[in-house]
Amino acid sequence: IYVVLWLLIIGGLGSGITKLPVSTQLDHWMMQEEKYASDPEHFGNPDQIGILIKTDGLFTYENLQTLRTLRSVLMDNVESIESIHSILSYRSPSSLKFNLNETTLIPQRIPKSREVLDALKNKLLSHPGVVGTIMSPDARETFLILKLKPYEGEQGHGIELKNIGRSIVEITESIQSPGFKALAAGVPIVGYEQSKYFEQESQRLAIGVGCIAIVLLILIFRSLTILWHIILLSLASLLCVLGLYGYIGIEVDATLFSVPLFLGVATNLSYAVHIYNRFHGLHDEQTSPQMAVQLTLDSLKKPIFYTMLTTVAALLTFNLIEIRAVKQVGNLSALIIISVYLQNRFVLPVLLCLYP
């Protein structure tokens, strides 16, 4: 009954990990009272994104058609885009003079004639404000300038920007050719790329640390039962806290996400080593597993509790530092340590009685 109840609790809390918000915003590393912690002049304007188009020659039928397709796909698939400014937006001087909004220098139907395309290129190169701003003098490179809609809400802006960056990167990567390259840049793009990098790096580190821990446990205990006990408790401790964070909606900084995880695993190993050593020293043919567990808890519950208490108190002092990312590490690590203690104090004894 206890094991089933424990599994239900782990499953219920662990399902919240899918809602865990992860952020890579640079202002998490600024002092909270710093006047430009979220100043666009220092950290970039999150409301605009630039897409650099690099070609062998922009004014060909294929490249202009691809440029128009990219613009249409972005407008149709990214709801947060308010407008896109590009060479496709420029109107002829006559349409500006007579307010003819439908007349653009590059028509809707891209011409295939080389002479017409050269004439369009010359008109754009002579258009005021084009060369050196949105198009290169050799007409090989150009920009798409994306303006995003104002964000409505007090929380979750970083998550929204990261999702926008993901969508734009996926679209630009899908519309590529040997003579047409699209490279996106901006605060949402940086946020997405940072998040992607840290997710991959965390997975790599977790696999490496996990393999090392498994090898050490096998060498120390030479028991597969103890091995799966420790792995199960480590996963349960992490799932409980991260799932709780996901349900509450507490944001986690991706740059230091691996530190609390590894600290929790290491703490779980240290608690488990003491408990298993004492348990196997007491458990023999004359002593039942239940009696050995009771004697083990009587002798270790206070030392392990005080160890947990001092570790948590030390981690909570991170809140004295006025840097949000450091505070997050301290609070998340403290909760994981508490979860690890509860797993070893109440769940591990049951497992030892059932599977000594």
Write the single-letter amino acid at 180: F
Mean pLDDT of 317-336: 88
CA 84/CA 53 separation, integer angstroms: 14
CA 203/CA 207 separation, integer angstroms: 6
Burial pattern 297-306, b for ≥16 Cβ within 10 A else e, equals: beebeeebee
Query: Environment class of residue 326 by beta-carbon count within 10 Å: exposed (0-12), middle (13-18) or buried (19+)?
Result: middle
Digit-coded pLDDT (tens) for 278-290? 888 887 766 788 8
CA 86/CA 40 separation, integer angstroms: 23
Mean pLDDT of 109-119: 89
Residue 310, both tokens: 């001092």
Whose tokens are 């740059």? That residue is: 255
Higher pLDDT: 319 or 99? It is: 319
Mean pLDDT of 202-207: 78
Digit-coded pLDDT (tens) for 23-70? 665 555 555 544 444 444 444 567 889 999 999 999 999 999 999 999
State the pTM of this model.
0.64
* Confidence band, pLDDT 50/70/90 cuts, at residue 168: very high
Residue 13 · residue 245 · CB < 8 Å: no
| DSSP letter (8 states) at residue 58 | S
From the list 64, 283, 277, 73, the residue with the least C-alpha distance to 179 is 64
Please spell the DSSP secondary structure of 165-202, one letter per residue: HHHHHHHHHHS-BTTEEEEEESHHHHHHHHHHHHHHHH
Going by their DSSP bridges, the two strands 22-23 and 252-253 should be labelled as parallel
From the list 273, 331, 281, 332, the residue with the least C-alpha distance to 303 is 273
* Confidence band, pLDDT 50/70/90 cuts, at residue 221: confident
Does pLDDT of 91 surpass 80?
A: no
| DSSP letter (8 states) at residue 46 | T
Side-chain-side CA neighbours of residue 196 (13 Å): 13
CA 160/CA 122 separation, integer angstroms: 40
Residue 261, both tokens: 């995880």
Does pLDDT of 270 surpass 70?
A: yes
CA 80/CA 149 separation, integer angstroms: 5
Does pLDDT of 199 surpass 80?
A: no
Please spell the DSSP secondary structure of 237-292, one letter per residue: HHHHHHHHHHHHT--EEGGGTHHHHHHHHHHHHHHHHHHHHHHHHH-SSSS-HHHH
pLDDT attached to residue 61: 92
Mean pLDDT of 120-146: 87
